[in-house]
Each structure stands twice: as C-alpha cells, then as structure tokens.
Amino acid sequence: MLPNESHAVPIRKGPPRPQDAIAPIPASASSHEMTSEDEIGDTLTLLAANGDAISMYVSGTREPVLGRILSVDPEQPHFVMELNEGTSLPSGRITFVTVLRTAKLQFRLSKLDWDSLPDKPQLIPMVFPATCAVLDRRANERLETPLGTTFTATFELHGSPHEWSIYDCSLGGLGLHCTKGEAKGLLKGRKLPDVRLVLEEKETETVVVTELEIRFTRAFRSFLAGEQTHIGCQFCNMTPETESQIKSLMDKVNNASRQR
C-alpha cells in the first residue's frame, strides 16, 4: 500500500525516555478496532513523522522495550521500528502501545525472530498489524464520506485550479485524495487559503470556504486509480461563523452516512 525503500522523516522527537513509557489498554476498557489498511498506514505515518514513543511489551513482562517508528513504506504495508540504543526485541508476541494526539493505540505482532536490517541492530522491519485497538479520546469524531455523495475541495495551487475528493472529515480537519503528480510540493506545514468545500447530495449543494494547513502526506496505490496520495489537513484561522458552517456540513455528511 504504502517506494520499496523507506525514508525517515528528518524532523522528529528524540529517542523515548523511561518516563515516556505507556501502559497497555486495560482489557476492561471500552475501545474499538481500526481495521482499514489505509487508516492504519496513515496512523503509523503520523507516528513516524512525530517520532512518538512506542512501548513494546513482551508477554509476561511489565517493563517495555522503548522505541519509535523510523519510517513507513509508501507502497507496501511495511514499516521499520527503531529501538532505543542498547535494547533488543525478544522473539514471540509483542504488544505495541502508543498515543497519537489524544487517542491511545495498541496493536500486536508476533514473530519467531525479529531480524534487524543488515549492520543496523536497532532497526527492525515489520508488517502492518491486521487491526489496531483505539481507546478513543479524540476531541472530534471523524466521518468517512459516504458512497454516492460527492464531497470535494477546490482551490488554486501554483496558479492552477484543483478539485480533489474528500475522503474523510471532522470538526478539526479532513483527508484529501489526489494523484501523485498533483501532490508535488505539498509539504507538511503548507497552508491552502480559500479552499471551497463542496458537498453535493441529491439536488442540493453546500459550500463552505475555509483555510487548510497540511499536516501529513502519504502515498498509496489504489486498485482502480493507481498511485494516489492521501493528504491530511487541519482547519486553521476559523471564525465562529466558519466553525458553525463546518459543523452544519458535518451533520449533513453524518446524515448521509446513516441513510446508506
């Protein structure tokens, strides 16, 4: 899903410290499962970009091995875990725990021998988990755009007009899909002013104009559309009026989802 070579993100936090360790999600806690490979890939990509601490628990132990995700492959469901200097990962089942923004995440992987990259004992290649448990503490619910509904973002970039599909949205931001060529130059931190969010359903059209800031980009391959890029954006410089309009837009997306 996600060049066969992985690339590290240059600006990241330092190695995790003992105080950064995160306890596993209690068995009695209410959580839900993240099962979409695309969503799991987006999540791992954000963790890599931030250099967030990953606590790895071996079955039967309470003290975690600490590390962080070095990189995520942009085409295949693979990633590279970077262990803290001087640590190793025992064979067998490992529980991975971390926090992204306000959500606590946990997944499990198992392997007889966690082989490292050649001459790099701290770098362990891994595959995406099939599922990821989320103890959701997000401030804003994220909704996927329902099938049969046209939801797009239109704006000018380098003097040329663009219209991209909106994959998901929340009161905090949204996810866009575009081709690999269209995403050229769209780096983290870049702002897109005067973006028109257009929701078309039945015979009505809702338009909201806002400003977006790019928070991350991730390449993936679509079976139908070929190489694509997922762009995670955050709303910025919102007035109370715009915030109210986006909330109304979210309500319409939510209603459209329930009707399908």
Residue 19, C-beta contacts closer than 8 angstroms, at least 6 positions apart: none
The torsion angle over the Cα atoms of residues 175, 177, 181 and 187, rounded to 10 degrees, is: 0
Q: Are residues 67 and 47 in the same domain?
A: yes
25 and 131 both lie in a single domain: yes
Express each pLDDT in 83-132 by its tens digit: 999 999 999 999 999 988 768 899 999 999 999 999 999 999 999 999 99
| Domain that residue 86 falls in | 18-135
Which pTM value belongs to this model? 0.54
Tokens matching residue 114? 């966690």
Domain assignment present for residue 1? The answer is: no
User: In the sheet that 54-58 helps form, which strands lie side by side, from edge to edge?
Assistant: 32-34, 132-135, 103-111, 92-100, 54-58, 65-72, 78-83, 123-127
Q: What is the pLDDT of residues 237-251, one digit of tens each?
A: 888 888 888 888 888
- pLDDT tens-place string over residues 176-217: 888 888 887 788 788 899 999 988 876 778 889 999 998 888
157 occurs within a structural domain: yes
Question: Nearest CA to 249 among 170, 139, 153, 194?
Answer: 170
**Calpha distance 65→80 (Å, rounded):** 15
Same domain (yes/no): 131, 165: no
Residue 231 DSSP SS3: strand
Instruction: Choose the final residue of a domain: 135, 163, 184.
Output: 135
Stated as kind and residue range, the H or E segment containing 221 is strand 204-222
Nearest C-alpha neighbor of 99 from the set 63, 74, 140, 68: 68
Is the residue at 12 inside a domain? no
Residue 46, φ and ψ in degrees, nearest 5: -65, -40
Q: What whole-number distance in Å separates Cα of residue 218 and Cα of residue 180?
A: 10
CA–CA dist 12, 117 (Å, integer): 21
